[in-house]
Structure 1
Amino acid sequence: MPTPRHRLPACVLTVVLLSSACTSPLSPGGNTADATAPLVLSTVDEPATLHPLAGFGRSGAAKFYDGLLTPDARLDLVPALAAELPEPDEDGRAWTVRLRDDVTFHDGSDFDAADVVATYRALLDPAVGSPLAAEYSVIDTVTAVDETTVRFELARPYAPFAALLTLGILPSEPLAESRTVDDSPLAEEPNGTGPYRLTEWTRGEEMVWTAAEDHWRGTPEVEQVRVVFAADAAEQAEFLASGEPDGVVLPPGDPHGLRDPARTPAAEDYDLLRHDSVEYRAVSLPADGPVTGDRSVRMALNLAVDREALVEDVLNGLGAPASTPASPALAELREPGAEFIVDRQQAGRLLNTGGWTPGADGVRERDGEVARFTVVYDELRDLDGRLAEAFAADAAEVGIEVETRALSEADLAEQAAEHAAVISGGRQLDADLQFYEALHSTAPADPSGNPGRYDNPKVDSVLDDAREVTDPARRTVYYWEAQRAYLDDPGLVYLAFLDHAYLQRAGWAGYQAVLEPAEHGLTWGPWWNLHRWTPN
């Protein structure tokens, strides 16, 4: 039986793309807030690093950093450190960005073009070891035209380039040391131009942000933020019961029912905020595997998985079924017919046609090869383990045996190309960021890219074409074509898109619902625009 979906009796605010850009108070007429008292947040996800070149806040909302551009509530890119929206040259191979001249870093140094140049050059420098370098490899050169103008020369036309300009900008001086992103002091001591400064961070316990009084947008009215890191959901529930947190980042799927007052009485005092996201979970399938490399097996697995039941049973309703990288929250991007409907009878017929016949134990075989493989997942991600088990159970229904194995993050990175793996991702600022690394044959073969080395020439072709056209309607056509081509020959099993859920105490005005990337909580989430919040 699907697990019942519990609803708070209090106000429930749900993101709907493009329909919730209005600013709304949380429970108007309810509690008031004290802007001088710390806003206390609770999460079980402590960031490993705060370095932008290591990926922190790369889609914006980085709190300690500003990018050249930033998304608004409708995900339109608007100027931040840029003085105006940049436009490409006529051939689409160069972008000129004019900069604000009234910005300082938290250490008091002035922001100028040299900092932008240093940031992007360090990003592309192999010695720095940024995991984002491949995504930005379209940049050929970046130069300072003058103190307030930067010019990016691209290796080829790249229509969604503006979406790469949300990266947090660093001061040039510390980057001159050419330290790796892992060794840099910036990993724990951010120095940006963002609306908040990091004033304290005790690993495993908490961090404190303080409003930047000289921020170019003005001083945030929420003067201080205290983020308390819980070791697990049980500790988070105990903290919630204390009444101390103002906001709570719920674990994926809320497996312990923190949002349900029947299980967690303290939840009565909070609003439940539920945001759509483009964050997905999928099972990669090694293209060269003796079992997973077979087209009939890949298709059968996609037909065997009951995604609707998975969303209800594993995610407790906090999500949506996934068949491709196109989230249902991106309605115009999603090809209406591009979905797999569970059909285990058809899956069995495909396997039979492919020569995979049931053995004495019910597990299929072909030419002495048993239909058996392993799915690995990150041992620290409880949700990924539960999804792996659900996937294995569905695969068994059509005679395919799947073993699940938890690995450390390091071991997962090493073995994701050898085994099927539960992978995740999600970037919402442009379809290219969502599709290319997941499905293009040239994407990195790592857990954040294409570890199964999926190679579909038709998919590659339309994704390449979509990068060169600027007309949104034409680009959408290409992404629809990519989805249809993928469904004809899938290389993964997409499982679900996650809803991000939060509890927030009333008393503040300024909350705006927004479609979120995989990264959330301290960046995106209800507090993505915290610098604009005011007490009721």
Structure 2
Amino acid sequence: MPRTRRLGVSALALLAVTATGCSAGADGESPGPEDPTRLRVGALGNTTDNLNPLTTNGFADYIGVSHLYESLVELRDGEPVLRLAESIVPDATAESWTITLRDDVTFSDGSAIEATDVAYSLRLTADPTQSPNYASFFGDVDVDGIEVVDERTLVVPFTRPRGDFVSTILSFVSYVYPDGATQWEDAPVTSGPYTLVSYDAGERIVMEAREDYFDGTPELTTLEVVVIDDPQARLNALKSGEIDVATRVDPVAAQAEADNDAIEIQQGGEADSLALGFEMNVNQAPFDDPDVRTAMKLAIDRQELVDVVFLGEGFVGNDLVGLGLPGYDASLPQREHDPQRAEELFAAAGVDAVDVRVAETTPGLQRATELLAEQLADVGVELRVETTDPASFYADYEVLLSTPFQTAYYVNRDAGAYLGSFTGSNGFFNVSGFAPEGYDESLRNAQALVDDDERDAAFAAVQQLVWNDGGTIIWGYQAVLNAETAGLEGVYLTQAVPQFDAASF
């Protein structure tokens, strides 16, 4: 569970926030919620806002979707937890997996969730025409061969062994929909703890708690997500009583509220942190030169970035995602700040200026870019900054995949899940384009191993390839800050998205 604490002079934290229709008293003390069954959450939107769980990109919509639909497996504190599934078991070679459903799960229309629904959901999620965000995760699933054994059991075959089916694929996305479902924004039948009341794209999502949810009726019976793109505006809306929870608050702004007794900052752990950095596209000049990539990594003073951007309470990154989670290769040496060597490499490559595309898609990226400009200036390189609207930054995949240098952040996840999704030829979001000869084979071999320890060792070898020559810079891990009105309990995180179905005042 996330922890709550006051932000002192050097505090930063993580997330898990919520509060409900509350307003501060004249003395700054919160009188408690006006309606303890209603919660209003402010979150970042996206120019392509929609409630189709297969194409959603905005954080506000992620919150909505994660409350409307339940998963077979859910990540909590970085570990897979079975939800709709009672068991998920591989055969001896991990070429086939058997999924058995719980016997007490239903959709919002009262019908039982059955194996046919799961089979449909997996096939839908694996269809690149319907599911461009997630289809690549299921590229090794033999969708035509999925066999429904009985009402609660199905067998999922693979075209090659995948020992990481649960940890890499289902833990990342395994929402279950009714067989044949195609309607997402007009009274959809849902499998999660809430049903949809209304949806105004880019503005507001209103949901109502289900009385027949298998894990109990949520005490917060009305959940409202309000799109507010600017983090300071979200915090101001919380202070004025317009919302009850402000997600992803800037640490400097949160620190300024340290003495405000009407506001609390919630803090989670490393497992749900955000990995902040920059992506160098290895197929685009000047970063197609490995020496330039090395120079950039050496030019960055990671400790300074953590101290300034995270107010000293973040964690220094080492160009890999997965810090503190199973499978992370902690044996690799920490990348050090070496401006002298960076200057030599940049000069040898004839690089004296680079362009960077930046958007404040999470608090800290803009400030980190400003500091990077200062650090690069010290080694003779000018950083030319193109600032982009955060609501549209991830909307155009072609731009993302062709930009030479840009800001990036990732929800912290285990190494196997990250490598399979964000690197290699099959990585659906391989922004750096890193897929050298032999890399895909090494990654496939790691994914095939059933034994956890053997798989971790194989993934460590793949991480070393990324660390040595990849285009990804992870300079630090940010605890995601959410601000809330005091008194809320039971909020938890999954992939850094706050979940309110078990929350109450």
TM-score (norm 2): 0.81
The aligned runs of 1:284-299 (5 Å cut-off) are 284-299=279-294
The aligned runs of 1:404-443 (5 Å cut-off) are 404-407=385-388, 408-409=392-393, 410=395, 413-414=398-399, 416-426=401-411, 428=413, 430-443=414-427
Name the SS for the 1:172 alignment partner.
coil
In the alignment, residue 41 of structure 2 is paired with which amino acid?
A: L
Instruction: Please give the alpha-carbon distance, in whole angstroms, between the structure 1 residues aligned to 2:64 and 2:87.
Output: 16
Q: Deviations over 1:106-135 (max 9, x none)?
A: 234432222111111122234324321111
Q: Does 1:173 align with 2:174?
A: no
Residues 1:40 and 1:128: Cα distance change in structure 2 (over 3 Å): closer
Q: Does 1:151 align with 2:155?
A: yes
The aligned runs of 1:263-278 (5 Å cut-off) are 267-275=260-268, 276=270, 277-278=272-273
Q: Deviations over 1:386-417 (max 9, x none)?
A: 43343333233222333222345455633632
In 1, are the aligned partners of 2:321 and 2:474 still within 8 Å (CA)? no
Residue of structure 1 equivalent to 2:109: 107
Q: Does 1:70 align with 2:74?
A: yes
Shift of 1:210: 1.5
Residue of structure 2 equivalent to 1:329: 324
In the alignment, residue 40 of structure 1 is paired with which amino acid?
A: R
Residue of structure 1 equivalent to 2:467: 487
Residues 1:479 and 1:15: Cα distance change in structure 2 (over 3 Å): farther
Q: For structure 1, which runs of at least 5 residues remain unmatched after alignment?
A: 1-5, 17-29, 176-184, 357-364
Residue of structure 1 equivalent to 2:379: 398
Q: Deviations over 1:284-319 (max 9, x none)?
A: 223233421112211111010111212233344463
The aligned runs of 1:131-146 (5 Å cut-off) are 131-141=133-143, 142-146=146-150
Residue of structure 2 equivalent to 1:202: 200
Residues 1:378 and 1:485: Cα distance change in structure 2 (over 3 Å): same
Q: Does 1:505 align with 2:489?
A: no
**CA RMSD after TM alignment:** 3.4
Q: How many residues align?
A: 471
Residues 1:511 and 1:285: Cα distance change in structure 2 (over 3 Å): closer
Residue of structure 1 equivalent to 2:82: 79
Instruction: Please give the alpha-carbon distance, in whole angstroms, between the structure 2 residues aligned to 1:190 and 1:147.
Output: 22
Q: For structure 2, which runs of at least 5 residues remain unmatched after alignment?
A: 16-29
Residue of structure 2 equivalent to 1:20: none
Residue of structure 1 equivalent to 2:123: 121
Name the SS for the 2:166 alignment partner.
helix
In the alignment, residue 271 of structure 1 is paired with which amino acid?
A: E
Percent identity of paired positions between Structure 1 and Structure 2? 24
Q: Which moved more, 1:419-428 or 1:493-502?
A: 419-428
In the alignment, residue 304 of structure 1 is paired with which amino acid?
A: A
Residue of structure 1 equivalent to 2:245: 247
Q: Which moved more, 1:270-279 or 1:128-137?
A: 270-279
Q: Which moved more, 1:387-396 or 1:141-150?
A: 387-396
In 1, are the aligned partners of 2:69 and 2:190 still within 8 Å (CA)? yes
TM-score (norm 1): 0.77
Instruction: Please give the alpha-carbon distance, in whole angstroms, between the structure 2 residues aligned to 1:503 and 1:451.
Output: 31
The aligned runs of 1:175-194 (5 Å cut-off) are 175=182, 185-187=183-185, 189-194=187-192
In 1, are the aligned partners of 2:298 and 2:337 still within 8 Å (CA)? yes
Instruction: Please give the alpha-carbon distance, in whole angstroms, between the structure 1 residues aligned to 2:68 and 2:502.
Output: 15
Name the SS for the 2:319 alignment partner.
coil
In 2, are the aligned partners of 1:61 and 1:70 still within 8 Å (CA)? no
Instruction: Please give the alpha-carbon distance, in whole angstroms, between the structure 1 residues aligned to 2:309 and 2:221.
Output: 38
Q: Deviations over 1:45-79 (max 9, x none)?
A: 479233222257999991111112233x4443333
Instruction: Please give the alpha-carbon distance, in whole angstroms, between the structure 1 residues aligned to 2:230 and 2:63.
Output: 27
The aligned runs of 1:277-426 (5 Å cut-off) are 277-317=272-312, 319-330=314-325, 333-351=328-346, 355-356=348-349, 365=350, 370-378=351-359, 383-407=364-388, 408-409=392-393, 410=395, 413-414=398-399, 416-426=401-411
In 2, are the aligned partners of 1:427 and 1:433 still within 8 Å (CA)? no
